[in-house]
Amino acid sequence: MEETNREAVATAVQRVAGMLQRSDQLDKVEQYRRREARKKASVEARLKAAIQSQLDGVRTGLTQLHNALCDVKDIQNSLADVSKDWRQSINTIENLKDVKDAVVQHSQLASAVENLKNIFSVPEIVRETHDLIEQGELLQAHRKLMDLECSRDDLMYEQYRMDSKNVHDMNLIRGYFGQVQGLSEELSKQLWMVLQRAMVTVRRDPTMLVSVVRIIEREEKIDRRMLDRKKQTGFIPPGRPKCWKNRMNEVLEGTVSGRIESTQSETRESDKMWLVRLLEITRKYVLDDLTVVKNLMVQCFPPHYNTFQVFLDLYHKSVSARVQELAAEDLEANEIVSLLTWVLNTYKSVEMMAHPDLQPECDVKQLEPLLPQHVVDDLLGKYLKTFTSNITGWLRKALETDKKDWQKETEPEADQDGYYQTTLPAIVFQMFEQNLQVAAQINETFKEQVLRVCLKQMNSFLVRYREEAINYKEEHLKNRQLPQCYVQYMIAIINNCQTFKESINSLKRKYSQSTEPTQNDAAIDNLLNEVAREGCQFLLDEVFLDLERHLNELLTRKWLTGTHAVDTICVTVEDYFNDFAKIKKPYNQEMTSEAHRRVVVEYLKAIIQKRISFKNADERKEGAERMMKEAEQFKFLFRKLSAVRFIALCVFVCAQGEDTDRLCDAIAAIAEVFKLTDPALLYLEVSTLVSKYPDIREEHIVALLAVRGDASREMRQMIIETLNQNKPSSSSVSQPVFRDITVPSITMTSMAVPKLLK
């Protein structure tokens, strides 16, 4: 208690200290005191009220306990009186045993009298009931059957009450009514027959189905009554409970299952479209039957049967079991697609379970999947495996067919714009398109998977395509006369690459939701570019094989004295490019640029290889003028070729012209070196050449000076050393000219000078 007081005092001190932390708060001390006094008075009032409430509760509890004690004493007295009266009445109860036996006998006699008419007429009622069953009067037959069963059950019950161990009399009654059980079984067969044909019966004679349902309902009520009596007495008549409602559900389930199983009338051996036909028949049967259930059969059953939902569940269960059986078979790829399309799309579409005639009772969102997800995944995996194998074979076969076309003596077909092409891209992408359309019927995810497989196989296919194009070129080089249309088909191969690109992009836009490029996309694009560029290179190789003899004449004595080598080169190139005009963009653009570069490089090689050494100024002047003239011929030729291909692209033509000028100007710049008459100015001309073409190397300068023929060793050494001291930068060269030109060792000077001008 003292500790509590100390804690209270400490708390109060802390509280007061908190309120009086500032000097201006001393003016409010009286106000704080009154407020605390009010709080104290409030707390004391609540404590008093709580204590008073507890005291009132204790007082009430004591009063109730006192009353309960009085009641217990009264009950004890009453029980003592009852016990006394019971002991006094034992003898009286024993004297009433004879009365009890008499009551039992009276009850039996009363039951016998009540059923006397039926007892004597059992054989006649049995015959009448049998005739009614055969005539289809099921309600009347069931009424008589119930009368017979009621008489039998009442007699057996009374016998059971009198002497449950008297088996002889019980068997006697059962034997007398022995035909009743047979009638019940016969009637049940008729009921099950009607239920098995319920879909037909409800259209022709719905009253028959109503009668069957009423009979089953009656039997259900009797079953419940007999089971209740069994709980009380332990007696139940023979054949009870009949459980006809459960049997009805089994019959309906078997009927629905049989209806679904009967849809297969053909096999794969007799009809390759057997599965499509089976699924379509199943769809029609299920839709028609559920429509009949909704519009007709529901009216024949009590509302609490929930008839439509019952039949919906039965059909769904049967269809699910059937498609799982089909999924377990060894299905082909097209059959897998047909099954999954039907299961995943058709089944819940407006063509079947979401049909307007079944709404709103049929909620497709509540239907469980027909196939477990793992089965669907297994089927999709099997399809992808088969599809991958098939598409590999299809692509190989398509390539083999295309290779045979390459050997033809007639030119390949041209598209509407006049570009050569083969049927290979159309065949390949028609194949892809068909399979993607099929995959799209299943779902978006599977469609994306099939597209990835197509693109992956396309990658492998392009590797083989490139190899075959290389083999085609190598076989041609063995005999350049064969095949006759080598150039045209090589152009078609190049054009196919652009067609493949366009087709792949079209497929991705149409069948892929992803716009992000993948590594596979980049690989395909690189392969196509590589095949096309190699094809262009093969064609240019073909051109330069024909030009080889004329290129070898350049910068020779024969060339200096007068030859038409450059004229022939230009005519040959232009003639080839008439065919090359049928190459699609951008490869025709690249090919024109590459042909231009190679012609100029070959011309420069002819200069660097020192096929001629000018003897005097006249020869140098004549050679330089001829070089300038031929440079102009090359400019004119390639501007003409560029204009033919890019007439609609003026800006690009200008750019091409600039590149054409720069390449051909290299020839003119070298000609200026040769044309110069004052050797003292030779350094300035060479430095101008080097500044324009920074990729030129020391050996090139040495070779040019050697061709000029009048540069002494000292002059050459001075020029090289001076140029090395003023090294030009070649980092910004967009199109190197001299980089790939090698100089024969015979032109190299033995002077010890740096090897490169960088």
- How does pLDDT run across 97-121, given as a tens digit for each residue? 666 666 666 666 666 565 555 565 7
Give the confidence band of 758 by pLDDT, cuts at 50, 70, 90: very low
Residue 420, strand partner residues: 414
Fold matches, 378-536 and 554-726: yes
Report how far apart, in Å, the C-alpha atoms of 549 and of each of 255, 476, 553 are: 91, 20, 7
Residue-wise pLDDT for 265-274, tens only, equals 667 777 788 8
Among 173-187, 270-284, 334-348, the minimum mean pLDDT is found in 173-187
- What angle, rounded to 10 degrees, do the helices at 333-341 and 373-406 form? 130
> For residue 360, is the peptide bond before it cis, meaning its omega torsion is within 30 degrees of 0?
yes
Q: How confident is the model at residue 454 (pLDDT cuts 50, 70, 90)?
A: very high
Spatial contact of 594 and 532, defined as CB atoms under 8 Å apart: no
pLDDT at residue 394, as a whole number? 93
pLDDT for residue 658: 53
Q: Which two tokens stand for residue 534?
A: 């190699």
Please give the average per-residue pLDDT across 573-592, as a whole number.
91
Q: What is the mean pLDDT of residues 124-153?
A: 83
Q: How large is the average pLDDT for residues 33-55?
A: 86
- What's the pLDDT at 114? 59
Residues 6+ apart with CB under 8 A from 315: 256, 260, 286, 289, 290
Q: Which stretch of DSSP H or E encloses residue 279?
A: helix 274-295
For residues 395 and 401, give the distance between their C-alpha atoms in angstroms, rounded to a whole number.
10
Is residue 138 a contact partner of residue 119, using CB atoms and an 8 Å limit?
no
Sign of CA dihedral 68, 74, 80, 81: negative
CA separation, residue 183 to residues 146, 191, 215, 415, 443 (Å): 11, 12, 14, 85, 57
- Bridge partners for 414 per DSSP: 420
According to DSSP H, which parts of 519-586 are helical? 519-553, 557-562, 565-580
User: Which residue, chain included where needed, has tokens 């070959």?
Assistant: 602
Nearest in space to 642 (alpha carbons), one of 595, 678, 689, 589: 589
Once rounded to an integer, what is the mean pLDDT over residues 201-229? 89
- Residues in contact with 310: Cβ distance below 8 Å, sequence separation at least 6, in sequence order: 249, 252
Which of the four pLDDT bands, split at 50, 70 and 90, describes residue 39?
confident
CA dihedral (283, 285, 287, 292) in degrees, to 10, reads: 180
Average pLDDT over residues 508-537: 89
The residue ranking higher by pLDDT, 217 or 159, is 217
- pLDDT tens-digit series, residues 64-103: 999 999 999 999 998 888 888 777 777 666 666 666 666 6
Q: What pLDDT shows up at residue 756?
A: 37
Q: Alpha carbon 578 to chain centroid distance? A: 48
Query: What per-residue confidence (pLDDT) applies to 127?
Result: 84
Question: Of 140-149, 351-360, 546-555, 582-591, which range is least confident?
Answer: 140-149
Q: Among the listed ranges 160-164, 319-323, 398-402, 721-725, which one has the minimum average pLDDT value?
A: 160-164
Asked whether 603 and 633 are in contact (CB, 8 A), the reply is no
What is the chain's mean pLDDT, rounded?
85
In degrees and rounded to multiples of 5, residue 466 shows phi and psi of -65, -45
Q: Which helix (H) or strand (E) holds 324?
A: helix 307-328
* Residue found by looking up tokens 């069931």 in the block: 142
- CATH level 2 (architecture), domain 378-536: Orthogonal Bundle (1.10)
One DSSP character per residue, 50-109 reads: HHHHHHHHHHHHHHHHHHHHHHHHHHHHHHHHHHHHHHHHHHHHHHTHHHHHHHHHHHHH
- Token pair, residue 251, equals 């019959």
The CA-atom distances, in angstroms, between 529 and each of 56, 108, 195, 417, 423 are 102, 107, 72, 21, 19
Please give the average per-residue pLDDT across 230-245, as a whole number.
85
pLDDT (average), residues 592-597: 92
Is 624's pLDDT higher than 50?
Answer: yes
Cα torsion angle, 656, 657, 662, 664, sign: positive
Give me the half-sphere count of Cα atoms (radius 13 Å) on the Cβ side of residue 259.
28
Query: What per-residue confidence (pLDDT) applies to 359?
Result: 86
Q: In whole angstroms, give the CA distance from residue 580 to residue 638.
A: 13
Query: How confident is the model at residue 405, as a pLDDT?
Result: 93
Contact in structure between 275 and 335 (CB atoms under 8 Å): yes
Is-contact 242 305, C-beta < 8 A? no
Distinct helix (H) and strand (E) counts, the chain: 27, 0
CATH number given to 554-726: 1.10.357.70
Angle at 117 between CA 116 and CA 119, to 5 degrees: 60
Select, from the ranges 169-183, 668-682, 722-736, the one with the highest average predicted confidence (pLDDT).
668-682
Q: Does 494 or 263 have the greater pLDDT score?
A: 494
Domain ranges of the chain: 32-242, 248-371, 378-536, 554-726
Q: Classify residue 405 as left (phi > 0), alpha (psi -120 to 50) or beta.
A: alpha
